[in-house]
Amino acid sequence: MIIDNSYLHLVMLWWEVAISVIAAIALFVHSLDHFSNKLQKRADGKLKIVIAKISNNKYKAFLLGFVATAIIQSSSAVISITISFVDSGLITFANSLPMILGSNLGTTFTAWLVSLDVSFLGSILVVIGFIIGYFPERIRLFSKPFFYLGLILFSLNLISANLAPIKESEEIVRFLSYASNPFFGIFLGMILTVITQASSVTIGLSIILCGQGVLGLDSAIGIIVGSNLGTTSTAFLASLKLGTIAKRTAFVNLLFNLFGTLIYLPFYSTFDDLVGKINAPIAMQAAFAHLFFNLAISIMLMPFIKQIVRGLNIYWDRRAARRKEIA
């Protein structure tokens, strides 16, 4: 059997592209994990003190969730930590809900990093982090956070460069165009996030492909909304080994994001059109969409935190009573 050289060359080309993209994504995830872990270790003791002091105020708790996620760059990590604090009794179930909403809003910071051209800044931070590593102990503490933040930005540039050939593939472009259907886009974003266990990867890829013209804005928004739903799986998995109250907190995280998705669906066309009118590059429009989506959920739910908690507690109490009657 004779294999056409042009076909073999095409297969090898796409194999190289696939490996390069996977390697760049792996570097991004690795850098994100290490950056998050280093900051968590630095702030672990202080974070508990801060949370204990301000978590009784829902607006301060919301701000804490937002800032912590914007700094650590992982809403999954912040929400998982919050759930563990609820389980240990450090904060109450009611006080954890504003933190979850704030964390969901804080994750939009990653989308902005992707939408902006910060590749050169990444290289600078890697060099700064490397140099600081040779300084005295007190300064050397900042070496790895700087280094891994630089790697995050640097890897985003690698992903963008390696994804460029995708727009030449009619099959891939055609498949991704189906994401303009909000149901398919949300499903695709959710599945990709559940698989990678990192909404930052899904959102980052969608914004990069959007900026390259491979994804339309409506497709990117659908995938971003789906990734918000998919990222709740991480907190759910983290709660499995914890107590009932922790599982309930993870469940509410799912409810919040499901609420946002259900609100988005009837108005997706209007929302996409409004975002498309923003005078900015299309990648930045996608980042705006992510921000507006999470901000809208927070604005709608924050005033009703007490009512939500009361309603859920009544539901769970009645459910427990019915189980006792059956038993």
Over residues 269-295, the pLDDT tens digits come to 899 899 999 998 898 999 999 999 999
Say if 324 falls within a structural domain: no
* Within-domain flag for 322: no
> Per-residue pLDDT tens for 223-260?
999 998 988 887 787 777 778 888 888 888 889 999 99
Cα–Cα distance, 215 to 219 (Å, whole number): 6
In a domain, 97, yes or no: yes
How many C-beta atoms lie closer than 10 Å to residue 273's C-beta? 11
Neighbours of 112 (CB within 10 A): 16
Could you tell me if residue 315 is inside a domain? no
Q: Label residue 174 left, alpha or beta by phi (over 0 means left) and psi (-120 to 50 means alpha).
A: alpha
- Give the number of C-alpha atoms closer than 13 A to the C-alpha of residue 120, restricted to the C-beta side: 1
- Give the total number of structural domains in the chain: 1
Percentage, residues of the chain above pLDDT 90: 16
Query: Could you tell me which residues come within 8 angstroms of residue 171 by beta carbon, excluding any fewer than 6 positions away?
Result: none
- For the cut 80, the answer to whether the pLDDT of residue 48 exceeds it is no
**Quick check: is 321 in a domain?**
no
Round to whole Å and give the CA distance between 262 and 87.
29
Across 52-69, average pLDDT: 81
Residue 41 has pLDDT above 70, yes or no: no
Per-residue confidence band for 1, with pLDDT thresholds at 50, 70 and 90: very low
Task: Quote the CA–CA distance of 173 and 166 in Å, as a whole number.
Answer: 7
Is residue 69 situated within a structural domain?
yes
**Which residue range(s) make up the domain with 72?**
5-310
pLDDT at 262: 93
**Cα distance between residue 262 and residue 272, in whole Å:** 15
The answer to the question of residue 319 being in a domain is: no
Tokens of 49: 């003190």
